[in-house]
């Protein structure tokens, strides 16, 4: 492959207004808790009250979430290009405004079509404001040193459901589901937007990359010898996103279908957040010298074992949930660090945007798939299907291991 000489410096761009690393990570991490809790995790608590209050079909309420996730997937590649050129600060700030507008629309929606419009707006906010844009921002800021920053941000994000599910339930009980949406909208303007504007540095704009050789490849393009690795990685991430979205949306109904009370099911669900955080702390303490591919391997194995326990030994469901949560927590780290380690920092934000597109589109379909499986075949069959998918994912990741040896692990 021809060598390319670019007009820009190969080092991370020097921000015009630098911020201490701790400030950046704290700002992004806190914002991620609120962004995830008020979008991706919102319907887990609000779907029932919305259906009861409005009479709208539960399937349409979940379907609106799917439409929002579909929109987020479609915009992700363009978001990656924008971050690569302008930095993450304007994109993440815009996400706070978009999420606020979407939640405002939900809270005021007089009809189901307007409610769906609210989720379309939220979809733009999700596509510009959750993990992939955040990881792209950190990758642009810190380059090959971004691994630890990504891990630390996921430590914050692991508390999204743990904090926001009880908060959403409290808000619904006291001011209704509409009041909950309006409160979250205000939080995005009053808290999340300032976190991004004051916590993130302004970055120098990168000019369009101009190659000195005719027909030279752009840095974000995958070399021929990397295409199989890219396909395996994107496919594995997509399959994992389906598994984890179904669990995120359907865990409580799945547990209730196996005979647990609502309180017991919610209690089990609450174990996921601490399990995610615990696994991320372990990875940060002991895994930083290893190639990130091993974090991905551990994630897939833990998810498969956790789901197997839920099927085979429901009496120790708590252990299955803890193992599943640990695998889910490691997955979030791997989503940001494995592409950086396998393909390098050049065009990293663009590459994440390309990977995010099929992942988020799959997430859009997952709630409906999960509802259909659970309604048509029951909890055991649904969990079995998820477990089979998790085992297939292990095979995909195992096929990636040889590619990891071709490039040194990311420092950080």
Q: How confident is the model at residue 207 (pLDDT cuts 50, 70, 90)?
A: low
Whether residue 140 contacts residue 13, with contact meaning beta carbons closer than 8 Å, is answered with yes
Q: What is the DSSP string of 184-239?
A: HHHHIIIIIHHHHHHHSPP-PPPPPP--SSTTPPPTTSPPGGGHHHHHHHHHHHHH
Q: What number of residues does the chain have? A: 412
* 166 falls within a domain: yes
pLDDT at residue 180, rounded to an integer: 95
Instruction: Centre a 10 Å sphere on the Cβ of residue 281 and count the other Cβ atoms it contains.
Output: 15
* 194 falls within a domain: yes
Q: How confident is the model at residue 177 (pLDDT cuts 50, 70, 90)?
A: very high
Query: Which residues have C-beta within 8 Å of that of residue 312, sequence separation ≥ 6?
Result: none
* 304 falls within a domain: yes
d(CA 12, CA 344): 13
* 6 falls within a domain: no
Residue 6 has pLDDT above 80, yes or no: no
What is the DSSP code (8-state) at residue 6? -
* 15 falls within a domain: no
Q: Per-residue pLDDT averaged across 19-47, rounded? A: 90
Domain count, the chain: 1
Angle at 248 between CA 294 and CA 301, to 5 degrees: 25
Share the mean pLDDT of the chain: 83
Question: Mind listing the pLDDT tens digit for each residue in 373-396?
Answer: 888 888 888 899 999 999 999 999
CATH of the domain at 271: 1.20.1250.20
* 409 falls within a domain: no
Q: Per-residue pLDDT averaged across 161-187, rounded? A: 92
pLDDT at residue 410, rounded to an integer: 43
Question: Mind listing the pLDDT tens digit for each residue in 181-195?
Answer: 999 999 999 999 999
Sign of CA dihedral 381, 39, 19, 15: positive
Residue 212 has pLDDT above 80, yes or no: no
pLDDT at residue 11, rounded to an integer: 42
Question: Mind listing the pLDDT tens digit for each residue in 284-293?
Answer: 877 777 888 9
pLDDT at residue 39, rounded to an integer: 92
Tell me, rounded to whole angstroms, the distance of Cα 250 from its chain centroid: 17
Q: Can you count the helices (H) and strands (E) in the chain?
A: 16, 0
Question: Mind listing the pLDDT tens digit for each residue in 396-409?
Answer: 999 998 887 665 44
Domain holding 332, by residue range, is 21-207+222-404
* Structure-token match 């399959």, residue found: 239
Q: Per-residue pLDDT averaged across 319-347, rounded? A: 86
pLDDT at residue 85, rounded to an integer: 83
d(CA 383, CA 391): 12
Identify the residue with better confidence: 112 or 254: 112
**Least confident among 23-37, 85-99, 175-189, 305-319:** 305-319
Residue 9 has pLDDT above 60, yes or no: no
Residue 50 has pLDDT above 90, yes or no: yes
* 151 falls within a domain: yes
Q: Per-residue pLDDT averaged across 288-305, rounded? A: 90
* 11 falls within a domain: no
């Amino acid at each position: 492959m021809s060598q390319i000489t670019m007009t820009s410096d190969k080092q991370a761009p020097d921000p015009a207004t630098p911020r201490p690393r701790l400030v950046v990570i704290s700002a992004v991490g806190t914002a991620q808790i609120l962004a995830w809790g008020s979008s991706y995790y919102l319907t887990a608590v609000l779907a029932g009250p919305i259906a009861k209050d409005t009479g709208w079909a539960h399937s349409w309420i979940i379907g609106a979430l799917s439409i929002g996730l579909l929109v987020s997937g479609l915009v992700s590649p363009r978001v990656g290009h924008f971050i690569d050129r302008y930095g993450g600060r304007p994109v993440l700030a815009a996400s706070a405004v978009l999420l606020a507008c979407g939640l405002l629309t939900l809270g005021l929606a007089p009809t189901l079509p307007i409610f769906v419009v609210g989720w379309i707006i939220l979809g733009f906010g999700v596509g510009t404001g959750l993990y992939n844009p955040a990881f792209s921002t950190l990758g642009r800021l810190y380059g090959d040193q971004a691994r630890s920053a990504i891990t630390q941000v996921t430590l914050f994000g692991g508390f999204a459901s743990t904090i926001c599910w009880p908060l959403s339930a409290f808000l619904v009980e006291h001011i209704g589901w509409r009041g909950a949406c309006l409160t979250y909208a205000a939080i995005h303007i009053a808290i999340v937007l300032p976190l991004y504007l004051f916590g993130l540095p302004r970055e120098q704009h990168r000019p369009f990359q101009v190659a000195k050789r005719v027909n030279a490849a752009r840095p974000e393009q995958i070399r021929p010898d990397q295409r199989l690795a890219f396909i395996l990685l994107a496919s594995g991430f997509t399959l994992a996103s389906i598994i984890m979205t179904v669990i995120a949306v359907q865990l409580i109904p799945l547990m209730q279908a196996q005979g647990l009370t609502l309180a017991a099911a919610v209690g089990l669900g609450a174990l996921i957040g601490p399990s995610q955080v615990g696994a991320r702390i372990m990875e940060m303490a002991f895994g930083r010298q290893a190639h990130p591919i091993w974090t991905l391997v551990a994630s897939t194995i833990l998810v498969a074992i956790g789901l197997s326990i839920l099927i085979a030994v429901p009496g120790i469901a708590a252990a299955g949930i803890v193992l599943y949560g640990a695998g889910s927590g490691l997955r979030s780290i791997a989503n940001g660090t494995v592409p950086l380690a396998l393909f390098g920092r050049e065009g990293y934000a663009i590459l994440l945007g390309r990977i995010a597109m099929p992942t988020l589109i799959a997430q859009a379909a997952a709630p409906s798939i999960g509802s259909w499986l659970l309604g048509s075949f029951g909890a055991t069959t649904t969990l079995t299907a998820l477990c089979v998918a998790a085992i297939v994912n292990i095979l995909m990741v195992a096929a990636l291991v040889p590619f990891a040896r071709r490039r040194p692990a990311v420092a950080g």
